[in-house]
Structures are given as structure tokens and as C-alpha cells.
Chain A
Amino acid sequence: QVQLVESGGDVVQPGRSLRLSCAASGFTFSNYAMHWVRQAPGKGLEWVAVISDDGGNKYYADSVKGRLTVSRDNSKNTLFLQMNSLRLEDTAVYYCARDIRQGGYDFNDYWGQGTLVTVSS
């Protein structure tokens, strides 16, 4: 069965860096684009970034552009989110989600349980 397991969340100081991972299993990882979505405390879901199946295309929300970088290692079935210059407002639970295209429509059919990043001095 499809599984996505995030890891790497921690408490970090503003300005520091952190790398999140999302380990995928139960499907051919290299065939799917992957997304990162976050939820800050008391807030709604916010789309963060997407990477194409081969890693050649990456897009970001304006709020994280230039600071967060999405990447993947298809040989290890793992998605990454490198988080640099962290800000207080980056505090959130970060989810990875699979993108599926069905009948010309894209959506996120599987999600991980999330990993918590807390940015605090």
C-alpha cells in the first residue's frame, strides 16, 4: 500500500536551516510529481512547493521562494525539503503529498502524517 512518511522536523532558531525528508513506498515513486503542503498552528493548509516526477521542474509559493528548496532522489524513493533562513512564520506541520493525474485532472491522493517544524528563539 502507498505510504508517505515525513521526518526531520525539529525546533530551530530563526535564520537556521533544516532538511525534511519524505520516504515513499508502495508505488513507483519516479512516476509521480510530489508536493509539500504545510499547516501553521491555528491556520489552514498552505501549498508550499511541487517537484516534477524527474525533478526537472520545481515551483514554489511566493512565501517560501528563495528560502525553501524541493528536491528528490528517485533511486532512494525520497522527497526532500531544504529549509534555509527559517522564519518564525515557517512554524508548521509539513506534509508531503503525491500528485496524481487522472483524466487530465491533478490532485493529491495520498498524504503523509506530517512532521512538525518549530522556529523559535
Chain B
Amino acid sequence: DIQMTQSPSSLSASVGDTVTITCRSSQFISNYLNWYHHKPGKAPKLLIYAASSLQSGVPSRFSGSGSGTDFTLTITNLQPEDFATYYCQQSYTTRLIFTFGPGTKVDIK
């Protein structure tokens, strides 16, 4: 099974900051990597798919990069609505057996 790790597990930042979250897979997943953010009591929201493609309607301050086993989500000019938990998800397996990373909580400094 493919395992996902994320770092850091949490971080504190201020409005306007740039933050970077890292995700690593236990085996090669090419660029089959998605990013979501999730706020308590809300539905998770897709931000990035295929490692670097911005989902329609998502602000351009979100960007993703990486391939193989190492991936990065970058948020520039952090906004108040961006304080949430961020998850990576691998979708490499042909049977749609997805795996999420443990999450990175971004809170206000």
C-alpha cells in the first residue's frame, strides 16, 4: 500500500505570508497527487490535482509542484480564509484506492 507523509504537521503564519507544505509518498506515484483544504464542519475542497493543475475557481495564490515521490503545496499572500488543514492525496492506483496524508494545520500566528 502507498503511504503518504506530510510536513510540517502544523505551522503558524500571518496574513500575507508565503507558506510551503511538503508531501511525500512511500513509492513512485508520478504526478498523481491532489491537494485539499478542510475547515471544521465544512466539506473538504479540492485545490490542486495532478500535482500542479489548479482546480477551476481556486485562487492563483495556490500552486503545486513535484513528481515521483516528493511534492509541494505553496500558498502565497496567505488570506484569512486559508487558515485550515491541508491534505495531500495520492490517486496513482488504478482501482481508485486513494490515500490521504495526515494533514498540515495552518493557523494564525
Contact = CB atoms under 8 A, between A and B. Distances in A.
B83 interface: no
Interface of B: 1, 31-32, 34, 36, 38, 42-46, 49-50, 53, 55, 85, 87, 89, 91, 95-103
10 contacts: A35-B98, A44-B100, A45-B44, A45-B89, A95-B44, A102-B49, A105-B50, A106-B91, A107-B91, A109-B46
Interface stretch (A9-17, A71-79, A82-90, A111-119): A111-119
Nearest to A106: B91
Contacts of B31: 105
A59 B95 contact: yes
Interface of A: 33, 35, 37, 39, 44-47, 50, 52, 57, 59, 61-62, 95, 97, 99, 102-103, 105-109, 111-114
For the complex of A and B, list the 8 residue pairs with the smallest distance between their C-beta atoms, beginning with the closest: A111-B43, A44-B103, A107-B49, A105-B50, A50-B96, A107-B34, A106-B91, A45-B100
Nearest to B35: A107
B95 A57 contact: yes
A47 B49 CA distance: 17
